[in-house]
Amino acid sequence: MLELASISKSFGGLKVLDHVSLKVPQGAIFGLIGPNGAGKTTVFNLITGLIPPTSGTITFDGTDLAGLAPHRITRLGIARTFQNIRIFNEMSLLENVLVGRHRHINYGVAEMLFSLPRYRAQEEAARARALELLGWVGLAGKAGEIADTLSYGEQRRLEIARALATEPRLLLLDEPVAGMNPAEKTELMSAVRAINARGYTIFLIEHDMRFVMGLCERVAVLNFGRIITCDKPEAVRNNHDVIEAYLGRDDEADTRETA
């Protein structure tokens, strides 16, 4: 479904991604892990058109994404959440999700002004779909509340509902369980599984190993901008290079602490 072929990205003199190739199959839950600063979020920024690659190609269902603006890529069926939550704090949960649905509503200004039946029917359908999506992430009961009143974990779930509102086929989740407590993580794991079972392909970046290993069929590991392995969770867990990559980071941290 999604294919990155030999993608490289440099920021000035800093080479952040070095010939990264990945294939996310249709229907998969696919994970991308790697130490801090390995280049994971940069991969998502390239897929969603926020930044252009220095070289290489990205194709989605056979369409080359090169040069497409982010809203065009959303329209093709790719949605994402961000590591730092981006919701409208002063709006209700329902309004937050409806904002994501905007392009699916199709009516003229005249109809809107005179509240003609088609306008009302579309508004009602949008509202019903938004409530359904909030239900998928366990937030339907709070639809009328202001987003600002939500816990951190709930705000992350609202972000997922809002991303789903663009009716994507591929959902990119950037550290979905960051800041969640263990119970919230378990709940989100079930929610992501259920979303996947409804036919959505999921590509996630995550530091929480229990979450990644428990959820993903395949996991790719990025280290210093290179994919060092892409395999089943069990094989990744036992991969020598992966262990080195993570231990190397711990060693550095230990050195810093004792210095």
Residues near ligand ATP (CB under 6 A) are: 11, 16, 34, 36-42, 83
Closest to ligand ATP by CB, 57 vs 83, is 83
Least distance to ligand ATP from the beta carbon of 34, Å?
6
Least distance between ligand ATP and beta carbon 177 (Å): 13
Say which residues have a Cβ less than 8 Å from residue 100's Cβ, sequence separation at least 6.
161, 162, 163, 164, 165, 166
Smallest separation (angstroms) from ligand ATP to the CB of 106: 36
Phi, psi of 8 (to 5 degrees): -125, 145
CB of 84 to ligand ATP, least distance (A): 10
Q: Which is nearer to ligand ATP, 34 or 77 (CB)?
A: 34
Spatial separation of the C-alpha atoms in residues 123 and 111, rounded to whole Å: 12
Helix axes 152-164, 182-197, angle to 10 degrees: 10
Between 42 and 96, CB nearer to ligand ATP: 42
- Rounded to a whole number of angstroms, the minimum distance from the CB of residue 48 to ligand ATP is 13
- Parallel, antiparallel or unpaired: strands 2-11 and 14-24: antiparallel
Which C-beta is closer to ligand ATP: that of 36 or that of 258?
36
Using CA of residue 208, residue 210, residue 214, residue 217, what is the dihedral sign? positive
The one-letter amino acid code at 69 reads A
Shortest separation between residue 59's beta carbon and ligand ATP, angstroms: 21
Q: How far apart are CA 99 and CA 200, in angstroms?
A: 21
Q: Which is nearer to ligand ATP, 41 or 57 (CB)?
A: 41
Q: How many residues belong to the chain?
A: 259
Q: Name which of 143 and 177 has its Cβ closer to ligand ATP.
A: 177
Residue whose structure tokens are 């306008």 = 119
Distance CA 2, CA 79 (A): 13
